[in-house]
Amino acid sequence: MYATSLGDDGAELRPLEVWHAAELLANIDRGREFIGRHVGLPDVVPDLDAARAYLKSYADKRATDAGSLHGIWLDEKLVGGLLFRVWDSASGVCEAGCWLEPDAAGHGLVTRGLVRLLDWAFEERGMHRVEWYVSSANQPSINVARRLGMTREGVLRENYPHRGVRTDTEVWAVLAPEWREARARTAHDAH
């Protein structure tokens, strides 16, 4: 199993596997209302069997190179996750996403983890475009897209029925050349 450090605060990015079902359920339970304000994951994971099924669906995606799921651990506790919900190697397009429990928010964990995953997607897997779909009301997630250098490409008006309300979804994306240019600029500025 790999564990990738996300900094000196004890945060790590690791694969989120079927055998983590109890940890996933505990993570969702700690943030059920907070996470569920904008994404449907808490509704998909109401109990241990559902958590196991959700994780198995991503194990199946990983096995067919169609997506992947990664946990964010802080001091050995699962506090959130990052995913490639859609992964299409043939077209070079994928969609990234995230969730985080409230006590872990505001520490840059999602951004730091996504930097690692986007580096991997672009440099090791040869992807050309990473998309980010976010509720127009989810300012923290919009801020992540901005920090990652993504461009807001448009709004899908009232396309997502979430808990009985139709919400707008913003489409953000970053292309491989843009990512490489921004990473080179960051590396240059650090010296």
The tokens describing 155, both together, are 């709004």
Residues facing residue 98 across a β-bridge: 82
Dmax over CA atoms of the chain, in Å, equals 51
| DSSP 3-state of 5 | strand
* DSSP assignments along 104-162, one per residue: GTTSSHHHHHHHHHHHIIIIIS---EEEEEEETT-HHHHHHHHHTT-EEEEEEEEEEEE
Q: Grade residue 5 by pLDDT with cuts at 50, 70 and 90.
A: confident
Whole-angstrom Cα distance, residue 150 to residue 46?
32
Whole-angstrom Cα distance, residue 101 to residue 80?
6
Q: Would you call 107 exposed, middle or buried from its count of C-beta atoms within 10 A (0-12, 13-18, 19+)?
A: middle
Residue 70 confidence (pLDDT): 97
Q: What are the tens digits of pLDDT across the range 149-184?
A: 999 999 999 988 878 889 999 999 999 999 999 888
Please count the CA atoms within 13 angstroms of the CA of 168 that sit on its side-chain side. Answer: 9
Q: What are the tens digits of pLDDT across the range 47-71?
A: 999 999 999 999 999 999 999 999 9
Residue 165 confidence (pLDDT): 86
Whole-angstrom Cα distance, residue 133 to residue 110?
15
Q: What is the CATH number of domain 4-190?
A: 3.40.630.30
Q: What are the tens digits of pLDDT across the range 73-82?
A: 999 999 999 9
Q: Grade residue 191 by pLDDT with cuts at 50, 70 and 90.
A: low
Domain ranges of the chain: 4-190
Residue 9 confidence (pLDDT): 86
Q: What are the tens digits of pLDDT across the range 95-127?
A: 999 999 999 999 999 999 999 999 999 999 999
Q: Grade residue 1 by pLDDT with cuts at 50, 70 and 90.
A: low
Q: Grade residue 8 by pLDDT with cuts at 50, 70 and 90.
A: confident
Residue 139 confidence (pLDDT): 93
